[in-house]
Structure 1
């Protein structure tokens, strides 16, 4: 298969453009460092493990859009079309959320693995101020499919690859596809100020980033879920479907739209939640695992849930998930938390063989995981680097690619 991945000569234009972008980024950083004025009026909050040393008495103005002095008016939203009393704009601008000291007196907390202490002490801290907002993203007419991608600030190359492939905003047969990336704040110890300036510059170019002022850590992935669900309920009254996934997956948008079409024809879109379903799972007790959960935190089987690498849901269900999520305690594994929300609605996610969030085979060394014809016929495949995604996208969409067809007589 190596011959399929050889690079074509594209001349000097592409490298020159890349160098220009890098130079412009550094130039902007230098200029911004010479000024005390923050481009979006944001004061950063920092503290080990949660949100920041100043976040418990904090006020800021909502960033309605990252593009300043725009001549384009932001369309007004229908304030009557939000569920559960949701405000018509993002209202989490003052965060006064100290730790729940009463938890420290509980015997189970004393036995709890220390790495979970900050999560449990601040589990009631649910909604956070926005650093970058795009309320206009869904308001520009009816959006058929909203592609929502979980990312972190440092993964610029992955976002670029997604924008050039399955996350490209376009219209297919009159159906609008729009894309958003969900981010938190840089974690402690990093060059947070310059990283923030870079992400603001990136958003100035593309206008597709939502960012909240909580640290972008593994345990805080659930915060991305609940903050996005609230954001969606406020700003996206006319969106029909949501694809939500990671920035390191391959998505065959043509097959995804076909699946949406089938569900609409069958009138099964109201409760649509489909992906790579995991059933009868139990918490992992191996302390070395990324997904380790101590018994003190959760000690029963998980409800059915889908792998967070990529799944599809209807807007109707997303709004219902938002409502029930507000009555559930946050859980440190975001995939499982959504499964808990579905369980509260007495629903189970639908298993679809086209979603392969663990790869085509679970063995990364398998040659099947790099076979383009699988990608041509599947919907979601996890997991690829930015370079692998760009190469695979190019090969799969090459008209000269011929895949064997299964026939029956």
Structure 2
């Protein structure tokens, strides 16, 4: 895995990158300060010394954790005792990054034939849980959250997180049911000014208090690490949360429709095994080496189990805890939504297909005018894929009281 190696930057690239990042940093800090002054979402986190990811191999990590402050809610002793009795730690216990490659794999014939781009993933896929750089266990304390909106993002995508916070990720209460939001991040990837970017993300979290960050590099192959680390985090801290929506930071979500779907499932008493999304069935690994989703035969050579597109899906907390248990016995797979499908298969379950989840867009043709039709967005649950500007614009149009949709439509 790339997260274990950080190369030194040499030559003229370093000063050029630093200058450009300094300029970008000033712009972002100014934007964040404006948001802080306007009280968009005023949050306060305790001050803590910043520790780069390299130091975790040598000493205990410095984790920003709101539960450590005296005025923050804490988990009850009863919950802590239950965690210990179930074999689950009462708090995040991966404090030291100490993971070396599995050198025995190098001697195997299939590894020698394997595409080199997968070597680091295979050599380190036994590395599963990582130190937390930023933690917010108080999000789930006291049983306040009914629905947890969990958003996969990366450090540089500040504009997308801002758009989500102003739209479907805005924390609020609907009919007495509280909706909370968290963003999942890794650490900046190699070749970037990691220290400045890390300080920016810590400043962003100081304002909003909605980021979970782990000390693994935020690469495509490491998206599965984001899945398993979140499942463990949820199992530790979120005893009373009922439902989880998990999606990308470039989707449009209609929270009202999402809550209606939850209500229907509860009435039907089908929430225990609830896992709903845009289901993909009878898929096989892509062998096109140019594809982002390319998988060599040496790594996986059979059809995929049914899985839900990672752009957005809904699951119950009961099922999330069972997924956490079975995930620990499965080898990590470089495509995160397929990995969750493997976990479901282990439980003898399959994701439920729902037409309200459109993780490939309303139509697969991006030029189609239907993809920008607000009445579709008003009646769907999840639509993928939108830029930050498109999300803000579509949210404004869909919630305009003057918008009249003559009839419910489906395609």
* Residue segments in structure 1 that go unaligned for 5+ positions in a row: none
Q: 1:196 to 1:278 in 2, by over 3 A?
A: same
Q: 1:338 to 1:32 in 2, by over 3 A?
A: closer
How far off its partner does 1:9 sit? 45
Q: Distance in 2 between matches of 1:405 and 1:6?
A: 55
Q: 1:247 to 1:375 in 2, by over 3 A?
A: same
Equivalent of residue 295 in structure 2, options 271, 293, 296: 293
Question: How many positions carry a matched residue from both structures?
Answer: 407
Q: 1:161 to 1:40 in 2, by over 3 A?
A: closer
Q: 1:201 to 1:7 in 2, by over 3 A?
A: closer
TM-score (norm 1): 0.85
How far off its partner does 1:95 sit? 2.3
Q: 1:300 to 1:174 in 2, by over 3 A?
A: same
For the pair 1:9 / 2:19, whether they are aligned, the reply is no
Q: Distance in 2 between matches of 1:3 and 1:403?
A: 48
How far off its partner does 1:22 sit? 11
How far off its partner does 1:70 sit? 6.4
Q: 1:183 to 1:203 in 2, by over 3 A?
A: same
Q: Distance in 2 between matches of 1:18 and 1:402?
A: 50
For residue 190 of structure 2, give the secondary structure of its aligned residue in structure 1: coil
How far off its partner does 1:141 sit? 3.1
- 2:132–2:213 Cα contact (<8 Å) kept: yes
For residue 89 of structure 1, give the secondary structure of its aligned residue in structure 2: coil
How far off its partner does 1:81 sit? 4.7
How far off its partner does 1:341 sit? 0.1
Q: 1:84 to 1:266 in 2, by over 3 A?
A: same
How far off its partner does 1:60 sit? 2.0
How far off its partner does 1:267 sit? 0.1
Which residue matches 2:62?
62
Q: 1:59 to 1:168 in 2, by over 3 A?
A: same
- 2:7–2:191 Cα contact (<8 Å) kept: no
Which moves more between the two structures, 158-167 or 37-46? 37-46
- 1:250–1:382 Cα contact (<8 Å) kept: yes
Q: 1:19 to 1:188 in 2, by over 3 A?
A: closer
Q: Distance in 1 between matches of 2:295 and 2:193?
A: 31
Q: 1:194 to 1:36 in 2, by over 3 A?
A: farther
- 1:67–1:204 Cα contact (<8 Å) kept: no
Equivalent of residue 167 in structure 1, options 145, 166, 169: 169
Q: 1:107 to 1:90 in 2, by over 3 A?
A: same
How far off its partner does 1:65 sit? 1.9
How far off its partner does 1:405 sit? 1.1
Which residue matches 1:366?
368
- 1:187–1:216 Cα contact (<8 Å) kept: yes
Q: 1:171 to 1:82 in 2, by over 3 A?
A: farther
- 2:149–2:245 Cα contact (<8 Å) kept: yes
Q: 1:111 to 1:50 in 2, by over 3 A?
A: farther
Q: Deviations over 1:339-358 (max 9, x none)?
A: 00000000000000000000
Q: 1:104 to 1:146 in 2, by over 3 A?
A: same
Q: Distance in 1 between matches of 2:351 and 2:299?
A: 24
* Residue segments in structure 2 that go unaligned for 5+ positions in a row: none
Q: Distance in 1 between matches of 2:267 and 2:253?
A: 22
- 2:379–2:409 Cα contact (<8 Å) kept: no
How far off its partner does 1:366 sit? 0.6
CA RMSD of aligned residues (A): 10.4
Q: Distance in 1 between matches of 2:17 and 2:287?
A: 49
Which moves more between the two structures, 90-99 or 248-257? 90-99
- 1:45–1:55 Cα contact (<8 Å) kept: no
Q: Distance in 1 between matches of 2:19 and 2:114?
A: 49
Which moves more between the two structures, 119-128 or 28-37? 28-37
Q: 1:30 to 1:238 in 2, by over 3 A?
A: closer
- 1:44–1:213 Cα contact (<8 Å) kept: no
- 2:356–2:380 Cα contact (<8 Å) kept: yes
How far off its partner does 1:331 sit? 0.0
How far off its partner does 1:6 sit? 46
For residue 144 of structure 1, give the secondary structure of its aligned residue in structure 2: strand
Q: 1:31 to 1:124 in 2, by over 3 A?
A: same
How far off its partner does 1:228 sit? 0.1
- 1:240–1:314 Cα contact (<8 Å) kept: yes
Which moves more between the two structures, 397-406 or 320-329? 397-406
How far off its partner does 1:140 sit? 3.9
Which moves more between the two structures, 20-29 or 86-95? 20-29
- 1:152–1:183 Cα contact (<8 Å) kept: yes
Q: 1:40 to 1:100 in 2, by over 3 A?
A: farther
Q: How does 1:16-95 map to 2 (within 5 A)?
A: 26=26, 54=54, 57-61=57-61, 63-65=63-65, 71-74=71-74, 77-81=79-83, 85-95=87-97
Q: Distance in 2 between matches of 1:37 and 1:404?
A: 42
- 1:45–1:51 Cα contact (<8 Å) kept: no
* Larger helix fraction of residues: 2
- 1:66–1:133 Cα contact (<8 Å) kept: yes
Q: Distance in 1 between matches of 2:392 and 2:339?
A: 32
